[in-house]
Structure 1
């Protein structure tokens, strides 16, 4: 295997991040999202949004590389109160030190090579060093690959679910939570 690494994204990475997002969603979420939603993904709009995310500093965006290839990315930042609140709106005691992992994608052709674990591990270390205490992520209930990955990282559903409108089709997501010091279990 070529040398694998994780690095901070810069503005010039936005096009590649958008390409990975669109292509990965169209492949990995073909059974989860309606075809019209996947067909309507706009690479140019996604690129603009990722460029802003990388340059605004509102989120930490990391890239996974293997050799000269960018193979995946993740984005996270302080969890907004609306994302960390319980179903009744109550905030947990650690709401201000909780991180929301808003995106974690590795191109399927580069999967099962440790890239997602390196991304999440690097992200966890950075946020823990800055005082964060735990992380959360929203994952579609039907995304067994992502659920297995997070479970291997020591994260578990916290009992909170939400339903999004995915092009006229309901998409149920579970909120997973866990520590930022990852010990991956290999199955």
Structure 2
């Protein structure tokens, strides 16, 4: 039986995290992002992930199966600009809201529970930091990620944003949900 786990990333994980991001974005998000955004990702991803892993305000989690790193998740307190409403007004619970900034599982390792384990571990860490609910931004056209978060009980809160990738515009939906998660199965 192969061992699966989620743990906090260390600096040595940066190359694998960058590789997973490149593979996943090229496989699942190329149509959303465009070639220009993908090329920029290739240029500095490892260095950016090494910095993110060491950032004191967030935690980068990695999922492993056996000897393979198969996915990752970034979680931390939600910055005001991420949790604010369209008007810029902050909700009452802004200081108690966590952000799942990224959650990716390499496509060939999908449907094995890694995403759920990553989200559950990130939610536990956010609760330990005092967060009571979480948010995440997902591309409106990313049906797989939207379905994943819905199964976890996270739903759109009505806030959208549009990002410019340099050659395309990407519309994202903000999802919100409780941080008390239970893995099933």
Q: TM-score scaled to structure 1, two decimals?
A: 0.94
Per the alignment, residue 104 of structure 2 pairs with 105
Kept after mapping to 2: 8 A contact 1:153/1:185 = no
Q: Secondary structure at the match of 1:32?
A: helix
- Structure 1 runs, 4 residues or longer, greater than 6 Å off: none
CA–CA separation in structure 1 for the residues paired with 2:6 and 2:152: 18
Q: Secondary structure at the match of 2:33?
A: coil
Kept after mapping to 1: 8 A contact 2:36/2:165 = no
Point out where structure 1 has 5 or more consecutive residues left out of the alignment: none
Q: Deviations over 1:31-56 (max 9, x none)?
A: 2221332244225x111111111112
Answering whether residue 147 of structure 2 is matched by residue 148 of structure 1, we say yes
Answering whether residue 83 of structure 2 is matched by residue 91 of structure 1, we say no
CA–CA separation in structure 2 for the residues paired with 1:21 and 1:136: 20
CA RMSD between the two structures: 1.5
CA–CA separation in structure 2 for the residues paired with 1:176 and 1:183: 18
Number of residues paired by the alignment?
185
CA–CA separation in structure 2 for the residues paired with 1:66 and 1:146: 21
Report 1:102-141 matches (<5 A).
Answer: 102-141=101-140
Per the alignment, residue 24 of structure 2 pairs with 24
Kept after mapping to 1: 8 A contact 2:83/2:135 = yes
Point out where structure 2 has 5 or more consecutive residues left out of the alignment: none
Q: Secondary structure at the match of 1:113?
A: coil
Q: Secondary structure at the match of 2:41?
A: coil
Q: Which moved more, 1:77-86 or 1:26-35?
A: 26-35
Q: TM-score scaled to structure 2, two decimals?
A: 0.95
Kept after mapping to 1: 8 A contact 2:120/2:183 = no
Kept after mapping to 2: 8 A contact 1:152/1:185 = no
CA–CA separation in structure 1 for the residues paired with 2:33 and 2:163: 11
